[in-house]
Amino acid sequence: MSNEYQLNLFEQLNQGLPASSPSFPPELIPTDAKIPIPPGTYGTIEELADHCHQCQRCGLGSTRTRAVVGRGNSQAAIMAIGEAPGQNEDETGLPFVGKAGQLLDKILASVRLDPEQDIYICNINKCRPPQNRVPTPEEIAACKPYLLEQIRLVEPKIILLIGATAVRGLLGDRRGITKIRGQWLEWQGYLCMPIFHPAYLLRNPSREKGSPKWLMWQDIKAVRAKFDEIGW
Ligand code: URA
CATH number of the structural domain spanning residue 121: 3.40.470.10
Among 64, 91, 96, 167, which residue has the most ligand 1 atoms within 8 Å of its CB, making it the best to mutate? 96
Domain that holds residue 186: 69-230
- For residue 124, the ligand 1 atom closest to its alpha carbon is 3
- Provide the pLDDT for residue 39: 94
Q: How far apart are CA 137 and CA 123, in angstroms?
A: 15
Element (H, E) at 79: strand 78-82
> Looking at the domain assignment, is residue 47 inside a domain?
no
Q: Is 220 a member of any domain? A: yes
**62 found inside a domain:** no
When pLDDT is cut at 50, 70 and 90, the band that residue 215 belongs to is very high
Going by C-beta distance under 8 Å and a sequence separation of 6 or more, which residues neighbour residue 11? none
**Which residue has the CA at smallest separation from atom 7 of ligand 1?**
96
**Do strands 158-162 and 78-82 pair parallel, antiparallel, or not at all (unpaired)?**
parallel
Instruction: Find the 28 Cα to ligand 1 centroid distance in Å.
Output: 29
Distance (Å) from CA 214 to ligand 1 centroid:
21
pTM for the predicted model, two decimal places: 0.91
Long-range contact pairs involving 129-132 (C-beta distance under 8 Å, separation at least 24): 129/60, 129/84, 130/63, 132/84, 132/86, 132/87
pLDDT given for residue 1 in this prediction: 46
The answer as to whether 17 is a domain residue is: no
> Measured between alpha carbons, how far is 216 from 161 in angstroms, rounded to an integer?
12
CA atoms of 202 and 206, how far apart (whole Å): 9
Output the CA 68–ligand 1 centroid distance in Å.
Answer: 10
Q: How far is the CA of 72 from the centre of ligand 1 (A)?
A: 14
Would you state the pLDDT for residue 4?
Answer: 55
| Per-residue pLDDT, 50 | 94
Long-range contacts, stretch 29-35, CB < 8 angstroms, 24+ apart: 29/54, 29/55, 29/56, 30/6, 30/57, 31/1, 31/6, 31/56, 31/57, 32/1, 32/3, 32/6, 32/57, 33/57, 33/58, 33/138, 33/141, 33/142, 34/3, 35/3, 35/6, 35/7, 35/10
Q: What percent of the chain has pLDDT over 90?
A: 84
Q: Does residue 11 have a pLDDT over 70?
A: no
Residue 42 domain flag: no
Mean pLDDT in the chain?
91
In a domain, 23, yes or no: no
Beta pairing partners, 160 = 80, 193
Residue type, 118: D
Ligand 1: centre distance to CA 56 (Å)? 20
* pLDDT of 21 higher than 70: no
Q: Which residues line ligand 1 (CB under 6 A)?
A: 82-86, 89, 95-96, 98, 100-101, 123
The arithmetic mean of pLDDT across residues 105-120, rounded, is: 97
Out of 64, 66, 81, 83, mutate this one to test ligand 1's pocket (max ligand atoms within 8 Å of CB): namely 83
The β-bridge partners of 162 are 195
Compute the distance from residue 149 Cα to the ligand 1 centre, in Å: 19
Q: Is residue 141 one of the residues assigned to a domain?
A: yes
Domain count, the chain: 1
Answer whether residue 52 is part of any domain: no
